[in-house]
């Protein structure tokens, strides 16, 4: 799967074309103050997954695809791939 890299690649290229050299920052462990927001986001993803299932069962593939986009989960491997891509493109990462 490379979908997570395609968008990042194009966004980065667009910044380069505008004369901007981006610096990408990857967060570590979130602060305690973000706990409620993370819970809210988790609920949104879970609801989207349920809606996706319902849409697939109903044969509504357009809605299923839309809901799938709302329930994406970022894995450590995806982050590693993104960092590798960005360094290869000459970006600073932190």
At 5-52, the pLDDT tens digits run 999 999 999 999 999 999 999 988 889 999 999 999 999 999 999 999
**pLDDT value for 62:** 94
Residue 45, CA distances (Å) to 22, 48, 80, 83 in order: 29, 5, 22, 24
Catalogue all structural domains in the chain, each as residue range(s) with its CATH number: 3-93 (3.40.50.1010)
Residue 86's nearest CA partner among 29, 19, 9, 14 is: 9
Which residues is 32 bridged to in the sheet? Answer: none
Element (H, E) at 12: helix 3-17
What is this structure's pTM? Answer: 0.70
């Amino acid at each position: 799967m490379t979908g997570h890299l395609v968008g990042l690649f194009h966004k980065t290229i667009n910044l380069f074309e505008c004369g901007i050299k981006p610096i990408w920052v990857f967060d570590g462990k979130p602060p305690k103050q973000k706990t409620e927001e993370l819970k809210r986001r988790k609920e949104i993803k879970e609801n989207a997954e349920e809606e996706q299932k319902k849409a697939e069962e109903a044969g509504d593939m357009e809605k299923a695809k839309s809901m799938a986009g709302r329930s994406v989960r970022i894995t450590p491997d995806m982050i590693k791939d993104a960092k590798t891509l960005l360094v290869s493109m000459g970006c600073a990462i932190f």
